[in-house]
C-alpha cells in the first residue's frame, strides 16, 4: 500500500497561510477526511504526527495534518525561526486557522488534490484538541472527534504568574529547538480571559452531538487525569469514551525527533483508527 504525501499551502482572507500535509492511500476515492491538529510547541512534522498520519491514511482516510500559522516553526528544520509569530499566537488564532482549513476542505479544494472525501473526523493533541472541540460544531461534515492529552481548561496559570505576566508583557521560557528564549505575549491570556464562556471546554464538549474519543496518558504531568475525567464527565449528545493509557506521559512517551513508536503510541493510534473507522464508516475496500 503506497501512501501519497503532498504539502499544501492553505490561504484564507486576512490570515497567514496554513501549511498542511495531505496523506492518502486512496487517491480520488470518496474516503472520509481526518484533519489533524498539533499541540503547544508542535507542528505538523513534530514527533509522532507523520507516523500517526501515515497510519490513519493506511486505515482508509484522507489525512490533512496542519501546522497552526503562528507556531513560529521552520517546517523543514523544526526549529523556532520565527519567535515573534510564536509570541503573538492565541487560542482564537488557532481556532481561526482550523476554521480556514475546514472551509478549504468544504470548498472542494481537496477534491482537486485527489481527496474528495466526506464525512470528516477531527483529531487534536493537547491544545490542538481544545481547538478541535471548539470548532467541531461549526461544520456539519464533522461526524467524529478524537482528542489526546487535552485539557479541561485553558486558563492554566496561577494568580501570581498572571500578575507578573501582565507586568512583563510576556512569559519567557527556554526550548531546545529555539536559538533564543521563547516568549508568549500577555495577549494570549487576554484572549482566554475575554472568551471564558466560549472557551469552556467541558461545556463545548458536552454540546457535541457527535462521537468523541478521549485518550490520555496515565502519567501525564502536563494535563492531569483529573482534567481528562472532567472533560469526559460532561453530559453528551453523542457517544463518548475515555481511554487511559497505562504508563504514558503527555506525548505518549515520544520525543522529537521520534526514533521509533512507543507501545503507548501504538495503542493510542489503534484506538484512534478503530474509532474513526467505526464512526466515519470506512469500508473494507478503503482500508485495503
What's the pLDDT at 118?
87
**Of how many residues is the chain composed?**
288
Q: Write out the three cell numbers for 252.
A: 505518549
pLDDT per residue of the chain (288 residues) written in tens, 0 to 9: 799 999 999 998 888 999 999 999 988 889 999 999 999 999 999 999 999 999 999 999 999 999 999 999 999 999 999 999 999 999 999 999 999 999 999 999 999 898 988 899 999 999 999 999 999 999 999 999 999 999 999 999 999 999 999 999 999 999 999 999 999 999 999 999 999 999 999 999 999 999 999 999 999 999 999 999 999 999 998 999 999 999 999 999 999 999 999 999 999 999 999 999 999 986 655 555
Residue 215 dihedral angles phi and psi, to the nearest 5°: -120, 130
Cβ-based neighbour number of residue 274 at 10 Å: 12
What's the pLDDT at 284?
53
Q: What is the CA radius of gyration of the chain?
A: 18
What's the pLDDT at 273?
98
Place of cell 499551502: 9
What's the pLDDT at 286?
53
Mind listing the domains of the chain with CATH numbers?
Answer: 4-155+199-280 (3.40.50.1820)
3-state secondary structure of 176: coil
CA distance 287 to 204: 32
CA distance 189 to 70: 16
Q: Is the pTM of this model over 0.95?
A: yes
What's the pLDDT at 281?
86
Give the closest residue to 266 by CA, choosing from 1, 258, 232: 258
CA distance 146 to 123: 5
What's the pLDDT at 1?
73
What's the pLDDT at 26?
87
Amino acid at each position: 500500500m503506497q501512501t501519497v504525501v503532498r504539502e499544501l499551502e492553505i490561504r484564507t482572507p486576512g490570515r497567514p497561510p496554513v501549511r498542511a500535509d495531505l496523506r492518502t492511500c486512496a487517491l480520488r476515492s470518496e474516503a472520509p477526511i481526518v484533519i489533524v491538529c498539533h499541540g503547544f510547541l508542535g507542528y505538523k512534522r513534530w514527533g509522532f504526527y507523520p507516523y500517526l498520519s501515515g497510519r490513519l491514511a493506511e486505515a482508509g482516510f484522507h489525512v490533512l495534518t496542519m501546522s497552526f500559522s503562528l507556531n513560529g516553526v521552520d517546517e523543514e528544520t523544526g526549529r523556532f525561526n520565527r519567535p515573534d509569530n510564536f509570541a503573538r499566537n492565541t487560542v482564537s488564532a488557532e481556532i481561526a486557522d482550523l476554521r480556514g482549513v475546514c472551509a478549504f476542505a468544504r470548498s472542494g479544494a481537496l477534491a482537486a488534490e485527489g481527496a474528495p472525501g466526506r464525512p470528516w473526523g477531527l483529531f487534536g493533541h493537547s491544545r490542538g484538541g481544545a481547538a478541535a472541540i471548539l470548532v467541531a460544531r461549526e461544520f456539519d461534515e464533522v461526524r467524529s472527534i478524537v482528542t489526546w492529552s487535552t485539557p479541561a481548561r485553558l486558563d492554566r496559570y496561577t494568580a501570581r504568574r498572571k500578575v507578573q505576566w501582565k507586568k512583563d508583557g510576556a512569559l519567557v521560557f527556554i526550548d531546545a529547538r529555539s536559538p533564543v528564549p521563547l516568549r508568549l505575549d500577555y495577549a494570549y491570556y487576554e484572549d482566554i480571559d475575554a472568551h471564558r464562556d466560549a472557551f469552556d471546554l467541558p461545556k463545548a464538549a458536552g454540546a457535541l452531538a457527535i462521537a468523541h474519543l478521549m485518550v490520555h496518558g496515565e502519567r501525564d504531568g502536563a494535563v492531569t487525569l483529573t482534567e481528562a475525567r472532567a472533560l469526559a464527565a460532561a453530559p453528551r449528545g453523542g457517544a463518548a469514551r475515555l481511554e487511559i493509557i497505562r504508563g504514558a506521559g503527555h506525548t505518549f512517551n515520544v520525543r522529537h525527533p521520534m526514533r521509533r513508536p512507543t507501545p503507548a503510541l501504538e495503542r493510542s493510534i489503534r484506538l484512534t483508527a478503530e474509532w474513526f473507522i467505526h464512526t466515519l464508516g470506512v469500508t473494507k475496500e478503503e482500508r485495503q
